[in-house]
Structures are given as C-alpha cells and as structure tokens.
Amino acid sequence: MPTADRLLVLVRHGQSDWNLKNLFTGWKDPDLSPKGVEEATAAGQRLKAQGLSFDLAFTSALIRAQNTLKLVLGELGQPNLATTADQALNERDYGDLSGLNKDDARKRWGEEQVHIWRRSYDVAPPAGESLKDTVARVLPYYCQHILPPVLDGRRVLVAAHGNSLRALVMVLDRLTPKTIPSMELDTGVPLVYRLKADSTVESKVVLGA
C-alpha cells in the first residue's frame, strides 16, 4: 500500500457488558460482552478483507477499547503493533449518571432532562462532561499525536468510544455542534478515512456488516 494513502481507521469498541445492561458507562471500566467480542473480531476480519494493515495504533485507558483493539489486531496478524493508550481518548465522563440504568435515570431526573444530557452538545450531567468538553479533550490529542503520523504516510488505527470518536468525526466530516450529537457510531464498525495532505478527507468508507 503506498505511503501516500494517509490512512486513518476509527473503530468504536464492541458492545460492553454495561451496554448490554443499558447502563451509563463513561469512565467506568466494564469489559466486552460476548457479542462485543464477536463485533471486535468481525471488525478485524473486515479490515483484513480490505487488505489493510497498520503501522501504529491508539486506544483509550479503558479495557473495552483496549480489548477491542487486541481482537482487531489479532485478526490482522499484528498482535504486537506499537500501541499508545491514553485517557485523552476515554469515553465521555457521565459523572453522577455513571453506572445507572438509563431507565432509572429517566425516572429520577425526568426523560427530558436525561435526553438533554445525552443529546445536547454543551450541557453536562452532574459532575460529568458535555460532548463539548469531550471534544476539547480529544481534539488536542488528535492534532498532537494521531494526525502527524497519518500525514507522514503511516497507517493509523484508533479504537475508542462513541463520544471520543464523535469528536474526531466532527472534524473529519465537518459536522456542527447542532448535528454531531444525533450522529450514531455503531459498535465494532470500522470507519476508513484517507486524508489529503492538508488533513481534510480524501475518502471515507464505512465497513458495516
């Protein structure tokens, strides 16, 4: 594959045990569910079917993203790929909502308030982060650590979370604070970007089922 590809692949972790139980997860650290293991493995198989391999990888400090990355790299035959884990790529911190069942949270605070916390751009749950806060945490890390090797022609894989990856997709896809909260990222589905030399997107492919 030519170095001019400037390849960046984003993968949201597979389903976690808490996703399965409908709990707010945030910075809590549950592992993958059996379905999540299947999703991560399938993501690796889809990338392999495209003939893709990587020069380095990034992930968060949370086990569900790290184990997703391990399963993907195992399918690619690259189990020892150079990998950096950093909490800058962690999921949005849901604060006092973390560990609560989403239905129970709606009963406690009201459906409208919980919807605002989940889907607004700049309203944070109690003791937690808004999506705007998450973007402010993720984007500097992307600009300093992930983007430079991509622009140098290295093939980079990022395994992270729905909201931390939303921050990257917001920039890559030129979404706005109004449109980004409603954008869904499926678990275990790779987003394959190729960038231009100016860091804008040359092409994007979603490797869904």
Measured in residues, the chain has a length of: 209
C-alpha angle 127/130/132, rounded to 5°?
145
129 annotated active-site? no
Active-site annotation holder among 13, 39, 129, 161: 13
Active-site annotation holder among 39, 75, 91, 129: 91
91 annotated active-site? yes
Burial of 44 (0-12, 13-18, 19+ CB in 10 A): buried
What is the Cα–Cα distance from 68 to 160, expressed in whole angstroms?
9
Tell which residue, 59, 56, 63, has the closest CA to residue 37. 63
Catalytic residues: 13, 91
